Amino acid sequence: QQPVQSPQAVILREGEDAVINCSSSKALYSVHWYRQKHGEAPVFLMILLKGGEQKGHEKISASFNEKKQQSSLYLTASQLSYSGTYFCGTERIGRDDKIIFGKGTRLHILP
């Protein structure tokens, strides 16, 4: 039941855009996105609730397609500070209040 993230790794030049995808085989209530820098704890970016909404955080936004049980994270005009590993976490319908995280997508931004 672990969500699947793609791609596993991305290398970008500063200013380029990226999309990270997250898909689940289970009906979802919410999708969470976190970013983790090397040697640090994961930090919350945003949560999307079922309803297909889109959210934004600086130049980072995300969408949630509940019919397909998929979410995408969009990084626009990437900055050096965006480097890190991005995790999606999924919460199933029924709200058992636990989040199952994907294996992460490593993002490296080159100057």
**Site residues, another protein (CB under 8 A):** 2, 32, 40-44, 47, 49, 87, 95-104
* Least CB distance to another protein at residue 16 (A): 25
3-class DSSP assignment, residue 82 = helix
Closer Cβ to another protein, 77 or 103, answer by number: 103
What is the dihedral sign for C-alpha 22, 102, 24, 62? negative
How far apart CA 52 and CA 14 sit, in angstroms, is: 29
Closer Cβ to another protein, 35 or 83, answer by number: 35
* Tokens describing residue 101: 């995280």
Closer Cβ to another protein, 17 or 58, answer by number: 58
